[in-house]
Amino acid sequence: MQFRDLQTQYLNLSSEIDSAVKRVLDSGVFIGGSEVKTIEEELAEYVGVKHCITCGNGTDALQLALLAWGIGEGDAVLVPDFTFFSSGEVVSAVGATPVFIDIDENTFNVDPSQIELAVNLAKESGLKPRVLVAVDLFGLPAEYEQIQRICKENGLLVLEDGAQGFGGSIKGRKACSFGDISTTSFFPAKPLGCYGDGGAVFTNNNEWASLIRSLAVHGKGETKYDNVRIGMNSRLDAMQAAILQIKLKVFKEYEVAEVNERAKWYDEMLAETDLRLPRAPTDFISSWAQYTIMLPDRLDRAKIQSLLRQSDIPSMVYYQRPMHEQKAFFGKSLVVGGCPKTKKACETVLSLPMGPYLDKTQCDIVCDALQNILILD
């Protein structure tokens, strides 16, 4: 059993993907060109925004957004304490200070009630609060109705980190459309993944879109040899763009629906246990990048994982350590109130095999194994 089955997906799509790869090889155009232009148009249409700018990876996408806004030294950027390292890494990379805030334990996403506390802490520390990075963790969009209102009241821009949330939605509105600028990642194991690295930036702002296109290609002006600002080198190549065209089609047609069906299987089979199961709020749809449970305090997570491995069942821990406890941020960040909910999540979360190609038999095996472990413990 695979944690996320990419092989079955390829086998199902192999003829189309192989043809797309050959098309690129035959064209001789490997950087830019029509393949990249087409996928940018398709992604923008799917998300429902004016502009999509593809780039090298999801981390670059976040950094490009911060660079476009001129974020730097003396600025504070609010970041959830429970997320992947890159969400805060890019803040330090541009010279700003990350301010880590706690999560809502029911969604694993940022707790909107913590935003104003973080703004006040940043100001008391002599920093200018500029941005909130709202992460759509494990596939579920953050609580944007509250987030947008509070950020507007406090003069904050919203940067939606949709690396895990692409395909999710709130009341029919797609993830990666909620931020002033939004980003995603096409890392292979993401809800929509390519066969290498890739990322994208989304916005409705014409000026920011133009600036991000420049920054992504060495700060280019009229041409790439007319350099008008310091930028970076971050591009999605034509091969990945062609592959994403194939994968986006089935992602829209059935993969999001299928992965939500798998989540229901888990919900039903684990409902009678004392495991804390993930829940999508009313009117929210998750793309289920992960199906992440919380173990009761009485259980030893390492032991649980070991017993699952004995049945050839993979599991993962996302994430083992709060962001503010990462050595890289020592003396270079602020944290609001110690983030106790994040600490609790780090101690108890466990992610189970998930994806649109997980079959019912495999799901049954995972749930039976977990139930047997719980009975014996």
Q: Burial, 321: exposed, middle or buried (Cβ in 10 Å; 0-12, 13-18, 19+)?
A: middle
For the cut 80, the answer to whether the pLDDT of residue 376 exceeds it is no
Both 265 and 366 in one domain: the answer is yes
Structural domain contains residue 1 = no
- Give the model's pLDDT for residue 51: 98
- Give the model's pLDDT for residue 377: 64
Q: What is the CATH number of the domain that holds 104?
A: 3.40.640.10
Both 189 and 287 in one domain: the answer is no
Say which range, 127-131, 288-292, 373-377, has the weakest mean pLDDT.
Answer: 373-377
User: In the block, which residue shows the tokens 């690396």?
Assistant: 163
Its pTM surpasses 0.85:
yes
What are the tens digits of pLDDT across the range 182-207?
Answer: 999 999 999 999 999 999 999 999 99
- Give the model's pLDDT for residue 375: 81
Both 119 and 225 in one domain: the answer is yes
Both 305 and 192 in one domain: the answer is no
Both 226 and 320 in one domain: the answer is no
Both 139 and 285 in one domain: the answer is no
- Give the model's pLDDT for residue 223: 86
Both 198 and 302 in one domain: the answer is no
N-term to C-term CA, the chain? 24
Question: pLDDT confidence of 158, banded at 50, 70, 90?
Answer: very high
Contact 131, 158 (CB under 8 A): yes
What are the tens digits of pLDDT across the range 223-244?
Answer: 889 999 999 999 999 999 999 9
Both 134 and 281 in one domain: the answer is no
Boundaries of domain holding 338: 255-376
Both 48 and 111 in one domain: the answer is yes
What is the signed CA dihedral for 362, 365, 368, 370, rounded to 10 degrees? -90
Q: What is the mean pLDDT of residues 120-132?
A: 98
Structural domain contains residue 322 = yes
Strands 128-135 and 75-80: parallel
**Where does a domain end: 247, 272, 302?**
247
**Where does a domain end: 202, 227, 247?**
247
Both 215 and 294 in one domain: the answer is no
Strands 291-294 and 97-101: unpaired
What are the tens digits of pLDDT across the range 354-372?
Answer: 999 999 999 999 999 999 9
Full DSSP string of 285-312: E---S-EEEE--TTS-HHHHHHHHHHTT
Q: What is the mean pLDDT of residues 339-352?
A: 98
What are the tens digits of pLDDT across the range 162-175?
Answer: 999 999 999 999 99
Strands 349-352 and 291-294: antiparallel
Structural domain contains residue 77 = yes
Both 316 and 207 in one domain: the answer is no
Both 202 and 297 in one domain: the answer is no
Q: What is the CATH number of the domain that holds 322?
A: 3.90.1150.10
User: Strands, E, within 45-104: which ranges?
Assistant: 51-55, 75-80, 97-101
Domain count, the chain: 2
